[in-house]
């Protein structure tokens, strides 16, 4: 169908302004010397005033990393990364102090542009609290904002403290709660886990730490916002969330980066631990810069995310909306160790332009009567490649393991690819696994129906896509669902016509 | 991740074996050169192991350890024992071609009064003949797959079937592989089946052991080309001895508007691997691939399927069922690739495993790789035990447990067996499955 003038113009407009978060903030920053060596690791550790055990832990990871080779099994192609041509630490120069007012106004402006509510109540979507009253509790989100390598602000500290919840940058937690950090750090994703996780263990600079004490339901959503700003820097954050017995926490994560010609590296590690009867809900909206229309620039996103349902009846739920990054290599997983524990993975992965996505999950059933559910929706447009790679496995002793997997792919255009690579391994007879996958394009009939009723081609595609991903969007916390819906329409704009 | 592993002791032993066997292998000049290149391709990789993605679940280095030396040519006593075995797997009304220990056995084969347009020769005859192009085609190798390369390098004999344009065969052709050697040895066979335009044929492959055959290795390769508008029905039954290895591959290409219906049943062999590659070269073709694995003891069976949709308007369907008892291990890997121009492809794959014991293992890896947008593709995989409520229903009606299980298993594998088009062959497959169930009870 030939594009009407209106469509053509719209697409053109989108082309130059497709990525909304591509601006750069000019602030002075404090960087580690370029390149990676033991000195870099020592530099980062010293910058963070870390105790000796932490430095030793990093150095051990670094030595191991030097013996490892980059994995090549994923369906992604990229030029060889020169790990010596990167900055491993970059921090805004002005040291942030106790109050938010002391943050560099440029950074605050950046977060304002991104729509991140750093200024607590006043920023909450412009909703003023009723006179004399507190804003309704369910609308609050505590934010930890990470700018390049360091955390610049963590909001709502007081209220969280009252509930006993610890939510702080991990660099502070290493100093203030060394017992907790030492007990859990690296127990879910060991330093030797994989190439990128080991690199992260050596050079991670900041990230968030959450500890929810027994029986506490975290009074608000916790959120981290990551932004890569500096040129040539890699961002290596580390998140550790522990939900003690009977507790609950919902955690959100968002990411953006400026538009740059060169590729930037992001290698994060996220570890979740749930003890008996605890639950963690982890939601991500990943919108790193995906590169321009010719496939130049963009973030390399190599992330290791894993949750360990250590206690019985515990639950971990991953929800992700992946629209950004030039390359995504990410498999949020659940180790279902505790009896009756359950894991969930809801994912929407959208790729356009020259993006390459290789994402999925692992559900490792070890305990008895464990269950897991995987819903994955992949949408490929433009010249992108979108792969779902997943593993469901039941150990010999994991009697009564149950899994349901549905992964659907939608192709928009004939230059893209959608792939499904599931591994289903059952090692005992009481395991019941179901897996289904479909790939198709948007039916011409449905599009015709919509267009005939006055929708433009793009609106019609948007409508169908939204219906396609509805199962996953419903799992997102409300604030994110709206954002995600917008993101989906942005990343698919210009893919038809 | 593919890791280069240093050559093992056994790898060296084999290269010496190849040097010795070379003189015995039919084909000189270009063919000998082709064999040498294939052997080099094998040597570069060696026996596949679990660090090679395609062999993740079937680690031949651990399971097989080494490739045995070539079996000696069968003597008269061996042929007598083989004759009995061949009879036991015979299909009534089929034209039989028997290979004993990797050597064509004319005395056990029935080559009299061939249909007009049908030509059957031994591979040895073709390799030693003047038609070098045909010989090269028969020994086609795949440098990326070490076991196919090894087969191409070492093949001693096999069957070459030519069906001339417009021929409709009146009876099925059955290629019977019998192992009879009384000392552990390896046999390498390679067959080529070519269907011209507008032909219709049925091919059965059977694998069995004669009395006293010892821990042998059967390495078989089949190359099939199906011409435009032709149809091939294919049934494959692996009933090798329970201490044997069966490493086979089939490479099938289809012209336009062709039809290929294949069914495989594996109940024999200690370790088996069947690699089936199907390539669509012409539009409007159709493939149905079905399979059943019936395993117990410590058996290991791997079916690896690669469906290559390179042209538009083709359909493929796969139905695969595995019944796994005791400490057996069933593997299904199915990869459907839809290449950029293969619009209007309709591909569906369904694999299901039934675990009868707590120590049984089933691994499924159905893959979709899609580069065209106007397609309908899907796959499904399930794993589970027999439904307790169904068992209870049957037992409440007086069926002993084993019978109740047998009935449900029969229904479970029935879905795949039903896809066989010919009544006789379907019946034959059902009987084979029943034999297994009876042995179990």
Reference B39, options B61, B58, B9, B19; nearest CA is B19
Give A84-134 pLDDT, tens digit per residue.
888 887 776 655 444 556 666 666 666 666 666 555 434 333 333 334 434
Beta strands B361-370 and B329-338, pairing class: parallel
In angstroms, the separation between the Cα of residue A269 and the nearest Cα of chain B is 22
**Does residue A123 sit at the B interface (CB-CB below 8 Å)?**
no
Using the beta-carbon criterion (under 8 Å), do A435 and B384 form an inter-chain contact? no
Residue B373 confidence (pLDDT): 84
pLDDT number for residue B27: 86
Q: Is residue B351 part of a domain?
A: no
Please state the φ and ψ torsions of residue B394, each to the nearest 5 degrees: -70, -40
**Which pLDDT band, with edges at 50, 70 and 90, does A14 fall under?**
very low
Asked whether residue B208 is assigned to any structural domain, the reply reads yes
Residues of B in contact with A422 (CB under 8 A): 364-367, 381
Question: What's the CA gap between A468 and A362, in Å, rounded?
Answer: 23
Q: Does any CB of chain B come closer than 8 Å to the CB of residue A425? A: yes
Determine which helix (DSSP H) or strand (DSSP E) holds B416, and give its type and residue range: helix B401-417
- For chain B, what is the domain count? 1
Q: Which residues of A touch B361 (CB under 8 A)?
A: 425-427
Higher pLDDT, A492 or B213: B213
- Asked if A412's CB is within 8 angstroms of B366's CB, the reply is no
Query: Rounded mean pLDDT of A141-168?
Result: 76
* Structure tokens, A319: 């929800």
B130 versus B226: the higher-pLDDT residue is B226
Alpha carbon A320 to its chain centroid, in Å, reads: 7
- Domain assignment present for B205: yes
Dump pLDDT digits (tens) for A338-380.
999 999 999 989 888 889 999 999 999 999 999 999 999 888 8
CA angle, A447 as apex, A445 and A448 as ends, to 5°? Answer: 65
Instruction: Please give the residue that has the higher pLDDT: either B52 or A154.
Output: B52
Question: Band of the pLDDT at B395, cuts 50, 70, 90?
Answer: very high
Whether B126 maps to a domain, the answer reads yes
Residues recorded for chain A: 497
CA distance, residue A1 to nearest chain B CA (Å): 15
Contact in structure between A11 and A467 (CB atoms under 8 Å): no
**pLDDT exceeds 70 at position A137:** no
Per-residue pLDDT band at B65 (split at 50, 70, 90): confident
Domain-embedded: residue B418: no
* A445 close to B (CB below 8 A): no
Instruction: Check residue B2 and give its pLDDT.
Output: 42
What are the CA-CA distances from residue B159 to residues A137, B25, B135 (Å)? Answer: 79, 15, 12
Query: Over 50: is that where the pLDDT of A12 sits?
Result: no
The region that residue A276 occupies, defined by phi over 0 for left and psi between -120 and 50 for alpha, beta otherwise, is beta
Reply yes or no on whether the pLDDT at B41 is more than 70.
yes
Residues 6+ apart with CB under 8 A from B315: B285, B286, B287, B345, B346, B347
Check residue A126 and give its pLDDT.
35
Q: What percent of chain A has pLDDT over 90?
A: 36
- Look at residue B54 and tell me if it is in a domain: yes
Which range (A346-355, A430-439, A482-491) has the least confidence? A482-491
How many residues in chain B? 441
Nearest-angstrom CA–CA distance, B410 and B405: 8
Inter-chain residue contact B383 with A73, CB threshold 8 Å = no
In chain A, what residues touch B379 (CB-CB under 8 Å)?
420, 435-437
| Joined tokens for residue A437 | 């996958």
Q: Is residue B422 domain-resident? A: no
Check B381 against A433: CB less than 8 A apart. yes
pLDDT average, residue stretch B283-301: 96
Q: How does residue A229 score in pLDDT terms, banded at 50, 70 and 90?
A: low
Q: Hey, are the CB atoms on B363 and A423 less than 8 Å from each other? A: yes
Angstrom distances, CA of residue A401 to CA of A376, A395, B372:
20, 9, 36
A73: nearest CA partner in chain B: B1
Percent of chain B scored above 90 by pLDDT? Answer: 81
Domain encompassing residue B91: 9-282
- How far apart are the C-alpha atoms of A492 and A467, rounded to whole Å? 14
pLDDT in tens, A436-471: 888 888 888 888 999 999 998 888 888 888 888 888
What is the Cα–Cα distance from A213 to A211, expressed in whole angstroms? Answer: 6
Q: Are A196 and A76 in contact (CB under 8 A)?
A: no
């Amino acid at each position: 169908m030939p594009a009407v003038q209106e469509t053509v113009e719209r697409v053109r407009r989108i082309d130059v302004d497709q990525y909304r978060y591509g601006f750069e903030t000019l602030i002075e920053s404090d960087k580690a010397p370029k390149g990676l060596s033991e000195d870099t690791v020592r530099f980062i550790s010293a910058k963070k005033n870390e105790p000796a055990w932490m430095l030793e832990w990093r150095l051990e990871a670094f030595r191991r990393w030097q013996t490892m080779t980059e994995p090549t099994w994923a369906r992604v192609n990229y030029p060889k990364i020169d790990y010596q041509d990167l900055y491993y630490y970059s921090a805004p120069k002005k040291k942030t102090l106790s109050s938010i007012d002391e943050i560099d106004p440029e950074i605050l402006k950046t977060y304002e542009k991104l729509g991140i509510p750093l200024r607590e109540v006043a920023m909450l979507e412009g909703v003023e609290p009723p006179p004399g009253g507190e804003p309704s509790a369910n609308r609050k989100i505590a934010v930890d904002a990470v700018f390049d390598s360091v955390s610049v602000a963590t909001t709502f500290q007081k209220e969280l403290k009252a509930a006993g919840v610890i939510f702080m940058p991990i660099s502070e937690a290493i100093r203030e709660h060394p017992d907790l950090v030492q007990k859990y750090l690296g127990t879910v994703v060991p330093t030797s886990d994989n190439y990128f996780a080991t690199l992260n263990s050596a050079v991670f600079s900041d990230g968030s730490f959450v500890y929810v004490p027994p029986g506490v339901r975290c009074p608000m959503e916790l959120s981290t916002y990551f932004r890569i700003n500096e040129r040539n820097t890699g961002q290596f954050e580390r998140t550790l969330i522990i939900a003690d017995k009977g507790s609950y926490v919902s955690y959100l994560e968002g990411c953006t980066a400026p538009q740059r010609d060169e590729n930037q590296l992001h290698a994060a590690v996220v570890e979740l631990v749930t003890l008996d009867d605890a639950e963690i809900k982890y939601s991500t909206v990943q919108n790193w810069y995906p590169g321009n229309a010719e496939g130049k620039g963009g973030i390399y996103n190599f992330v290791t995310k894993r949750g360990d349902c250590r206690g019985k009846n515990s639950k971990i739920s991953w929800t992700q909306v992946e629209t950004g990054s030039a390359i995504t290599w990410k498999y949020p997983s659940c180790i279902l160790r505790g009896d009756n524990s359950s894991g969930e993975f809801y994912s929407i992965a959208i790729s356009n332009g020259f993006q390459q996505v290789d994402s999925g999950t692992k559900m490792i059933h070890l305990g008895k009567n464990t269950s897991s559910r995987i819903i994955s929706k992949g949408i490929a447009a433009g010249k992108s490649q979108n792969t779902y790679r997943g593993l469901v496995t039941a150990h010999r002793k994991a009697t009564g393991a149950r899994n349901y997997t549905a992964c659907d792919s939608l192709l928009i255009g004939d230059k893209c690819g959608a792939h499904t690579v599931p591994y289903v391994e059952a090692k005992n007879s009481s395991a019941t696994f179901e897996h289904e996958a479909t790939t198709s394009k948007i039916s011409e009939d449905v599009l015709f129906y919509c267009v005939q009723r006055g929708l433009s081609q793009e609106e019609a595609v948007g409508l169908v896509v939204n219906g396609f991903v509805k199962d996953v969007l419903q799992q997102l916390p409300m604030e994110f669902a709206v954002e995600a819906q917008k993101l989906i329409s942005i990343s698919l704009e210009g893919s038809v016509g | 991740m593919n890791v280069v592993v240093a050559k093992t002791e056994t790898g060296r032993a084999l290269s010496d074996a190849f040097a010795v066997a070379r003189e015995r292998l039919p084909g000189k000049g270009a063919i000998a050169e082709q064999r040498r290149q294939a052997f080099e391709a094998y040597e570069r990789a060696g026996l596949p192991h679990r660090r090679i993605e395609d062999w993740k679940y079937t680690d031949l280095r651990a399971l097989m350890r080494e490739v045995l030396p070539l079996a000696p040519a069968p003597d008269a006593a061996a042929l007598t024992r083989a004759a009995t075995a061949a009879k036991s797997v015979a299909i009534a009304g089929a034209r039989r071609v028997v290979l004993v220990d990797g050597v064509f056995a004319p005395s056990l084969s029935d080559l009299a009064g061939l249909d007009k347009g049908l030509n059957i020769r031994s591979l040895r005859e073709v390799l030693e003949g003047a038609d070098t192009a045909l010989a090269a085609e028969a020994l086609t190798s795949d440098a990326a797959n070490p076991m196919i390369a090894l087969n191409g390098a070492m093949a001693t004999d096999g069957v070459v079937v030519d069906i001339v344009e417009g021929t409709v065969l009146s009876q099925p052709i059955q290629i019977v592989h019998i192992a009879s050697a009384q000392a552990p040895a390896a046999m390498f066979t390679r067959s080529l089946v070519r269907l011209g335009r507008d032909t219709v044929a049925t091919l059965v492959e059977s694998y069995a052991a004669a009395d006293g055959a010892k821990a042998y290795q059967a390495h078989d390769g089949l190359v099939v080309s199906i011409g435009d508008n032709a149809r091939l029905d294919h049934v494959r039954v692996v009933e090798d001895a329970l201490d044997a290895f069966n490493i086979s591959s089939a490479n099938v290409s289809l012209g336009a508007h062709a039809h290929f219906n294949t069914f495989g049943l594996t109940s024999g062999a200690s370790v088996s691997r069947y690699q089936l590659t199907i390539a669509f070269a012409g539009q409007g073709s159709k493939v149905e691939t079905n399979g059943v694995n019936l395993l117990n003891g410590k058996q290991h069976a791997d079916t690896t399927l690669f469906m290559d949709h390179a042209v538009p308007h083709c359909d493929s369907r796969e139905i695969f069922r595995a019944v796994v008892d005791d400490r057996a291990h069933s593997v299904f890997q199915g990869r459907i690739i839809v290449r950029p121009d293969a619009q209007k492809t309709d591909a569906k794959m369904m694999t299901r495993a039934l675990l009868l014991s707590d120590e049984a293992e089933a691994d499924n890896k159905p893959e979709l790789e899609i580069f065209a947008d106007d397609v309908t593709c899907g796959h499904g995989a399930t794993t589970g035990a027999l439904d307790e409520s169904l068992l209870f229903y049957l037992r409440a009606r007086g069926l002993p447990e084993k019978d109740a299980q047998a009935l449900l298993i029969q229904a479970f594998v029935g879905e795949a067996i039903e896809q066989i088009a010919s009544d006789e062959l379907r019946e034959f497959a059902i009987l084979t499955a029943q034999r297994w169930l009876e042995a179990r009870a």
